[in-house]
Amino acid sequence: MPKPARQYWLMKSEPDEFSIDDLERVGAEPWSGVRSYQARNFMWKQMRVGDGVFFYHSNADVPGIYGLATVASTPYPDPTQFDAKSDYFDAKSTREDPRWWLVDVGFERKLSRAISLDELRSHADALDDFVLLRRGTRLSVLPVTAAQWKHILTLEKQRP
């Protein structure tokens, strides 16, 4: 049976909560606290170990892609949903029927320079309907096509 093709993702984090520097320091981290069904479904049903991840800083002075990571685990229930002291507690979720799932994300490398949201917007035509650039997109986990992944990586070596 053929191995499924590597997929690509963009995962957003606020740098004052958890940054690419934090991921570099710890090596791998559970991507907990996602409370969007669509983003959850990406992690639960589509992500596979080894998939590529753009690490995106949102709510930053310069929002953009700051590093690369990989999906480092198979999906498992997000433990924060069961912790009544957590901001992500979900009283309707049970251990027998968890509502929220996550994957671990492993550090790969920081980019030599950030690729800002404005720069990504300036390449909208080449990025062919990149989900991040759609109006109203607020998801913290987004799919990235192989062509978009390759194009964005070429931007790292260009002057902004």
Mean pLDDT in residue range 133-152: 93
What is the rounded radius of gyration, in angstroms, for the C-alpha atoms of the chain?
A: 16
Q: Give me the residues paired with residue 106 across strands.
A: 28, 70
Q: Which residues contact 31 (CB under 8 A, 6 or more apart)?
A: 11, 43, 102, 103, 104, 105, 141
Cβ-contact 43, 59 below 8 angstroms: no
Considering the entire predicted model, what is its pTM? 0.94
pLDDT band at 160 (very low <50, low <70, confident <90, very high): low
Mean pLDDT in residue range 109-134: 95
Q: Please name the fold of domain 8-155.
A: ph1033 like fold (3.10.590)
Q: How many CB atoms lie within 10 A of CB 51?
A: 20
* Residue located via tokens 């053929």: 2
Instruction: Check pLDDT > 80 for residue 1.
Output: no
Q: What Å distances lie between residue 4 and 23, 33, 50, 94, 141, CA to CA?
A: 27, 27, 11, 31, 20
- pLDDT for position 127: 94
Task: Quick: pLDDT tens for 85-101.
Answer: 999 999 999 999 999 99
Query: Which backbone phi and psi does 114 adopt, to 5 degrees?
Result: -70, 145
- pLDDT for position 4: 72
pLDDT band at 128 (very low <50, low <70, confident <90, very high): confident
